């Protein structure tokens, strides 16, 4: 017994010495010895805190040549010393980016307790980079004494082309890249002093959708214990497409690249696509995307059902609660999710911006007319089967959502609010409801209301999509010149507040004692705004709930209308009878459904009179 105890103590001392040595080496030489080989980083200092940065560390073999469009292959051991001194390359987007991009940036502070934050960037799965100044992990690592990792993944057609599960182009390569990066960290982060059992994924938009996708990917389960999901889930309409749709879009790209002339089988198409210059592939993929026409619809995104990543249909997994249960989570949305997208998708309807003049110039107020409002909302109606009932209901509901001083402001703000509700907030809440009911760990939700003084867009656009990221990475502290001087102290205090919430959650699973856990009954969310730094912790209930319920009803109506149309198509004689005798009762029923929801949103005298 004494021998066993002595042996145990000897092993324990050895482990502690190894850990101490590793951290000492990091402090002095910025060198780590991993299972794959030695890595040398670069020394950084922020607010008198030392950080070792390991930049552009490869986790998989370059996806070029025969490995283009293939599942990632883990990087092989190397001899000598790997110089990790340059930021990870951006995966191929334009001529100055690279296909050889499966690498990551790692920031390790001199003093930390082993917790790891893994950032997954957003960009609609077609753009983005782990190496933007905005995502510099130095400040977060130094101030909060945590390891920060930014992972890279393939984008657009290189990451999400799909020719079938059994083909050489299986789809979801970008998500599999992320999974490979998480596996690399699981196997190697201990060499940096990190704890592989205390990994938190955090991301925004498509990065947030990616983080939630790993909840439904069995091979990812062991690689993380918590997630922080900002403005996106895999359930959002833009975050995935069916295999049938992805195959059709991929074949459309292959045809544009003249890769179907020798046959339409996956192998011959793949062989052809591998030989096309990356820049040409990207240009033609952009053409395919532009042909779709619908706002907020991206061509090359995750395929919703596969055998490699989801190992099934992701929506079936969510519906049957077949996802990772041992997890804690924070979900959140910003107040004005939709306004960011208006100049990109709604410019033809009056949302034009002149960047050569002041953002606050009257020309940039986007004071649209009632007809422009109607046309703007009509542009989204294909998502509702073109239903006139839905169109009228949404037009009336969203025209009064704003507290603007003029009717034009109300109409303008209504379009932005609808866009944000439909494409971001409501789908996120639906997902949070499911997760909160079924995971073992606590779930929290926030509503972000702090507008950055570094935001260059007009003030009426509010708290825009993506503008919470800078606070989580400490940008007001690392790049203070971007902010208004007379407001800088508030910006910095708020950034420190957000970083503390995130790190406390990563360390303990509890971001703050005053933050109530989320449940689907009252849907409590903590408002994160300027008042938060003064100890005014406001709790919101049922964020955008009435509007989300209206959208849910509208989806139901659209589904019923589509079903009726399908039946008419199947039988023309029956369809004529339905048109003559049956459509009015159906329309009346659907109107009653929408009217009930509208009454909760709009005063009776403002309800539609055009039915």
CA distances from 389 to 363, 397, 545, 575 (A): 34, 12, 21, 20
CA 82 to chain CA mean position, Å: 32
Element (H, E) at 42: strand 42-46
The per-residue DSSP string of 250-284 comes to: HHHHHHHTT-STT-SSHHHHHHHHHTS-HHHHHHH
Backbone angles phi, psi at 94, to 5 degrees: -135, -175
Per-residue b or e along 90-103, where b marks 16 or more CB atoms closer than 10 Å to that residue's CB:
bbbbeeebebebbb
**355 noted as active-site residue:** no
Q: How far apart are CA 534 and CA 139, in angstroms?
A: 23
Coil, strand or helix: which one is 289? helix
Distances (CA, A) of 278 to 273, 275, 449, 454: 9, 9, 41, 35
> Of 205, 210, 240, 289, which is the active-site residue?
205
DSSP state of 458: -
Give yes or no: 290 in active site. Answer: no
Question: Using CA atoms, how far apart are residues 572 and 575, in angstroms rounded to an integer?
Answer: 5
Point out the catalytic residue in the list 99, 204, 284, 337: 337
Catalytic residue chosen out of the listed positions 30, 214, 270, 465: 465
Whether the CB-CB separation of 91 and 175 falls below 8 Å is answered with no
Q: What is the DSSP letter of 91?
A: B
Burial status of residue 312 (CB atoms within 10 A of its CB: 0-12, 13-18, 19 or more): middle
**Residue 362 CA neighbour count, 13 Å, CB half:** 1
Is residue 205 part of the annotated active site? The answer reads: yes
Secondary structure in 3-state letters for 437-452: HHCCCCEEEEEECCCC
Rounded to the nearest 10 degrees, what angle do helices 206-213 and 173-188 cross at? 70
Instruction: Report, as residue numbers or ranges, the catalytic residues.
Output: 205, 337, 465
């Amino acid at each position: 017994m004494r021998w066993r105890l002595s042996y145990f103590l000897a092993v324990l001392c050895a482990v502690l010495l190894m850990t101490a040595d590793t951290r000492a080496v990091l402090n002095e030489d910025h060198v780590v010895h991993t299972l794959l080989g030695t890595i040398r980083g670069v020394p950084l200092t922020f607010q008198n805190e030392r950080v070792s940065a390991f930049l552009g560390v490869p986790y998989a073999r370059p996806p070029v040549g025969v490995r283009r469009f293939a599942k990632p292959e883990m990087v092989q051991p190397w001899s000598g010393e790997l110089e990790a001194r340059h930021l990870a390359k951006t995966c191929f987007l334009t001529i100055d980016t690279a296909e050889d991009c499966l690498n990551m940036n790692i920031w390790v502070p001199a003093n930390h307790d082993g917790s790891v934050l893994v950032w997954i960037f957003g960009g609609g799965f077609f753009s983005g980079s782990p190496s933007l100044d905005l995502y510099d992990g130095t400040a977060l690592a130094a101030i909060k004494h945590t390891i920060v990792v930014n992972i890279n993944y393939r984008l657009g057609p290189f990451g999400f082309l799909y020719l079938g599960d059994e083909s050489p182009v299986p789809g979801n390569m970008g998500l599999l890249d992320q999974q490979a990066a998480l596996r690399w960290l699981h196997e190697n982060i201990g060499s940096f002093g990190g704890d592989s059992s205390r990994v938190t994924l955090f991301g925004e938009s498509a990065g947030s959708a990616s983080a939630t996708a790993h909840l439904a990917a069995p091979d990812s389960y062991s690689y993380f214990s918590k997630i922080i999901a900002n403005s996106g889930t895999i359930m959002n309409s833009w975050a995935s497409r069916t295999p049938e749709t992805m195959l059709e879009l991929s074949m459309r790209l292959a045809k544009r690249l003249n890769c179907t002339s020798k046959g339409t089988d996956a192998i011959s198409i793949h062989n052809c696509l591998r030989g096309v210059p990356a820049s040409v592939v990207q240009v033609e993929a952009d053409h395919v995307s532009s042909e779709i026409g619908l706002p907020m619809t991206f061509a090359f995104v995750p395929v919703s059902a596969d055998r490699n990543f989801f190992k099934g249909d992701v929506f079936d997994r969510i519906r049957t609660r077949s996802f990772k249960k041992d997890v804690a989570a924070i979900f959140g949305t910003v107040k004005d999710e939709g306004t960011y997208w208006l100049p990109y998708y709604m410019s033809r309807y009056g949302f034009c911006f002149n960047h050569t003049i002041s953002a606050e110039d009257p020309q940039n107020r986007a004071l649209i007319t009632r007809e422009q409002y109607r046309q703007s909302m009509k542009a989204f109606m294909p998502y509702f089967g073109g239903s006139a009932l839905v169109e009228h209901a949404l037009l009336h509901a969203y025209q009064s959502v704003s507290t603007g001083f003029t009717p034009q402001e109300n109409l303008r703000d209504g379009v932005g609010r609808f866009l944000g509700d439909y494409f971001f907030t409501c789908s996120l809440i639906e997902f949070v409801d499911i997760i909160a009911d079924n995971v073992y760990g606590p779930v929290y939700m926030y509503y972000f209301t702090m507008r950055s003084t570094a935001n260059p867009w007009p003030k009426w656009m509010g708290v825009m999509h993506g503008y919470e990221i800078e606070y989580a990475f400490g940008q007001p502290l690392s790049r203070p010149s971007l902010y208004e001087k007379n407001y800088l102290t508030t910006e910095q205090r708020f950034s420190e507040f957000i970083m503390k919430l995130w790190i406390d959650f990563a360390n303990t699973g509890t971001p703050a004692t005053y933050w109530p856990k989320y449940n689907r009954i009252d849907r409590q969310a903590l408002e994160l705004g300027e008042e938060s730094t003064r100890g005014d912790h406001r709790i919101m209930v049922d964020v955008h709930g009435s509007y989300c319920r209206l959208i849910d009803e509208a989806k139901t109506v659209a589904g019923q209308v589509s079903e009726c149309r399908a039946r008419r198509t199947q039988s023309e004689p029956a369809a004529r009878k339905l048109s003559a005798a049956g459509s009015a009762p159906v329309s009346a029923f659907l109107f009653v459904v929408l009217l009930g929801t509208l009454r909760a949103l709009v005063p009776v005298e403002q309800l539609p009179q055009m039915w």
